Amino acid sequence: MKRVGKIFLGIVIVLAVLLVVALFFLGPVIKGLANTVGSQLLGVPVEIKDASVRPLSGTVRLSGVRIGNPEGYSESPLFSLAEMRFALDLSSLRGNGPIVIKELAIIEP
């Protein structure tokens, strides 16, 4: 095998490993972002216990979703559900237009 071929093969292998690692950690990253950014945007506690993402199908699953009440209101959550799943239209992620949700399922609201 020529030197250029070996370099190309090495690059492909490194990219494949990086992709697998990124896919493995995508759920925890989404969970952390949703908890942090969601709390900042809403001004109330936001908790997601688990998140998983299937990038090839565009499916996202969130478990243990809980949004708290503002200070001075009831201690019980404003909103909670056991699980929420949604499927995105992957082609809608390419442009600047709206993101299209093809399917939305809410389990145990």
* Tens-place pLDDT, residues 31-80: 998 899 989 999 999 999 999 988 888 899 999 999 999 988 988 999 89
Assigned token pair, 50: 């688990």
Nearest Cα neighbor of 66 from 104, 34, 101, 99 is 34
Assign 10 a pLDDT band (cuts: 50, 70, 90): confident
Assign 1 a pLDDT band (cuts: 50, 70, 90): low
Predicted TM-score (pTM) of this structure: 0.71
On whether residue 17 sits in a domain, the answer given is no
On whether residue 31 sits in a domain, the answer given is yes
On whether residue 7 sits in a domain, the answer given is no
Give the span between the Cα atoms of 62 and 37, in whole angstroms.
15
pLDDT at position 7 is 80
On whether residue 99 sits in a domain, the answer given is yes
The domain tally of the chain equals 1
- Enclosing domain of residue 86: 27-107
pLDDT at position 6 is 80
